[in-house]
Structure 1
Amino acid sequence: MSLPSVLHPTPAPDSILSRQPGARPHVIAHRGGADLAPENTLEAFAQAVAMGAHMLETDVQLSADGIAMAFHDETLDRVTDLKGPIRAYTLDELRKATVFGQCGQTGKIPTITELLDAFPEMPWAIDLKNGDSIVPLARSINQTAGAARVCVAHSWDSWLDRVRELTSPELERSLGWHELAILVACAKAGIHPPAHLVAGSWVHIGWKPGGIVLMKSKRFSDRLISMSHDLGMGVRVWTINKEKHLKRLLQQGVDGLFTDRPGLALDLVDAL
């Protein structure tokens, strides 16, 4: 079967290193800044951009008719007025859904294409949740000529590489799960990571994902930041909403902070 005509495969480079030593840490609006408006909606992203966020983050889920949607959960139950798996609904059906925010605001579920079109100057971190989202996501990136401002993340290494192959060498990627596991093990043991580990520009890592203490540990985070920088990669940490945690990570030299509170994070970055 041939790929959709909008896809233009290109060779993937060995690595793309974009981190510049001493660069200003950037604030990344997690799901658009979920404290600002209903998560992953145009309203949330627009507020984050107006506030001065340096980057936007979203997730990919598929509709029943194979459209890349900006939505985090596999099911609609938590934040919308619909029930069940998102991939059980067509695009037209999902357009009728209402997304609820924390303070009574409402919004709609956008497609990835709509988001990239709506904010053409903004860089994006896009989490790839499922392997069957690779082609629809690549199609959206190509339709909007967005490869140079997208970093794909939070997935298997081969999936991230495939998105790059289907779009452009300009597309950035984070370390995939396998590579990240190696880096984490090295940081925990205090062992220098292998140079061949570098397959992406960025290390995206959680504060305490699934109850596992990672960046919450100062000793571990000092090691991981130092190791990543030595390899030429920047470190972005998710999802940081407490002021004391934001301050500590900034003092340690992280390169990016995913947060639901971009206003607070921007104030702290400005105070550096």
Structure 2
Amino acid sequence: MVTNGRRPRLPLPSGNPSRHPFLAHEGPLAFAHRGGAAGGTENTLSAFARAAALGYRYMETDVHATADGRLVAFHDATLDRVTDGSGPIARLPWSEVRRARVAGSEPVPLFEELLRALPRVRWNVDVKSEAALAPLLRLLEETGAWERVCVGSFDEARVARAQSHAGFRLLTSLGTSGVLGLRLRAYGLPARIRASARCAQVPERHGAVRVVDRAFVRAAHARSMQVHVWTVNERERAEALLDLGVDGIMTDDLEMLRDVLDARGHWPTAP
């Protein structure tokens, strides 16, 4: 059944991978991309806390592992672009990474700190390196945070390994090759797609190629798969994508997406 162009979201039956608690939300999902990266303090606790104060219940972040295996919320492989530190995270101990300051003021957080500080938030996590996968799965096991996390990566094999280790406790999205397969299916062509993935998290376009159109959304929904689009910072694009029936939008412009969804009656009224 479809209601107002939306597929109903029901409680998760035990062992059913198609209805994970992470996706149990009325209306489209609003993701604060890196906590609202346009503010300059991306992937910091202060950015995520601001997003939560605006009403965001879903955050997008990235994880890398330090040389001593600590899991940090950080996009780049090196500290250089956004902090006053330098060097590759994979070669630095946490004791050094923790001294770096994003935009000269905000510390680089451990992902476990974010889970603890914002217990009502759900996290879309891009696993940026193979070294980060095992620490992430170990952290989810230790904290029991399986229902609060969706794991993705450009590397389809990496996400498939995560799914294989964790089973259906873990929600995963398609990697690049899986998205290509879904795009081919939308064209009516045969393609293999990992059956355990429940989300396709994609850009609206890849170069000159349009990724998200009505056929792509329809192909995803036929597989009980949601479509989340990144990174959408213009009101007109957000409106058009929602009209296509996408299930989530990731944005740096937190106020814009909040206002668009609020006008459609989809902004949450309580934390």
> Fold-level match, TM-score > 0.5?
yes
Contact 2:230 2:249 in 1 (8 A): yes
Following superposition, the deviation at residue 62 of structure 1 comes to 1.5
Q: Which amino acid aligns with 2:173?
A: S
Following superposition, the deviation at residue 167 of structure 1 comes to 4.1
Aligned residues: 249
Gaps of 5+ in 1: 1-12
For 1:22 and 1:137, the matched residues in 2 are separated by: 24
Q: Which amino acid aligns with 2:110?
A: T
The answer to whether the aligner puts 1:202 opposite 2:199 as a matched pair is: yes
Q: Which amino acid aligns with 1:108?
A: P
- Residue number in structure 1 paired with 2:18: 16
The answer to whether the aligner puts 1:70 opposite 2:73 as a matched pair is: yes
Q: Which amino acid aligns with 1:221?
A: D
Contact 1:151 1:174 in 2 (8 A): yes
Following superposition, the deviation at residue 14 of structure 1 comes to 8.6
SS at match of 2:144: coil
Contact 1:201 1:233 in 2 (8 A): yes
Aligned partner of 2:30 among 27, 30, 38: 27
SS at match of 1:35: helix
Following superposition, the deviation at residue 168 of structure 1 comes to 5.4
- Residue number in structure 2 paired with 1:4: none
For 1:226 and 1:21, the matched residues in 2 are separated by: 20
Contact 2:17 2:168 in 1 (8 A): no
Counterparts of 1:43-122 in structure 2, within 5 Å, are: 43-100=46-103, 106-122=105-121
Following superposition, the deviation at residue 124 of structure 1 comes to 0.8
Counterparts of 1:167-186 in structure 2, within 5 Å, are: 167=166, 169-186=168-185
For 1:197 and 1:163, the matched residues in 2 are separated by: 13
For 2:45 and 2:75, the matched residues in 1 are separated by: 14
- Residue number in structure 2 paired with 1:247: 239
SS at match of 2:168: coil
Following superposition, the deviation at residue 194 of structure 1 comes to 5.9
In 2 relative to 1, CA 57–78 (structure 1 residues): closer, same or farther, beyond 3 Å? same
- Residue number in structure 2 paired with 1:269: 261
Contact 1:60 1:127 in 2 (8 A): yes
Contact 1:183 1:193 in 2 (8 A): no
Please identify, of 68-77 and 18-27, the stretch whose mean Cα deviation from structure 2 is larger.
Answer: 18-27
Contact 2:18 2:225 in 1 (8 A): no
Q: Which amino acid aligns with 1:225?
A: V
Following superposition, the deviation at residue 193 of structure 1 comes to 5.9
- Residue number in structure 2 paired with 1:228: 220
For 1:20 and 1:65, the matched residues in 2 are separated by: 33
SS at match of 2:75: coil
- Residue number in structure 2 paired with 1:5: none
CA deviations on 1:83-128 (whole Å, 9 max, x unpaired) are 221222211111110101xxxx731101111111111221110001
Contact 2:185 2:191 in 1 (8 A): no
In 2 relative to 1, CA 130–212 (structure 1 residues): closer, same or farther, beyond 3 Å? farther
For 1:254 and 1:77, the matched residues in 2 are separated by: 35
In 2 relative to 1, CA 222–27 (structure 1 residues): closer, same or farther, beyond 3 Å? same
Following superposition, the deviation at residue 224 of structure 1 comes to 0.6
- Residue number in structure 2 paired with 1:9: none
Following superposition, the deviation at residue 235 of structure 1 comes to 0.4
Q: Which amino acid aligns with 1:253?
A: G
Instruction: Give % identity.
Output: 35
For 1:135 and 1:20, the matched residues in 2 are separated by: 24
For 1:152 and 1:22, the matched residues in 2 are separated by: 18
For 1:158 and 1:32, the matched residues in 2 are separated by: 27
Gaps of 5+ in 2: 1-14, 265-271
CA deviations on 1:28-68 (whole Å, 9 max, x unpaired) are 00001112450000000000011011301100111111111
Compare relative contact order (CA 8 Å, sep 6+) and give the higher one, 1 or 2. Answer: 1
For 2:233 and 2:217, the matched residues in 1 are separated by: 20
Counterparts of 1:207-218 in structure 2, within 5 Å, are: 207-209=204-206, 211-215=207-211
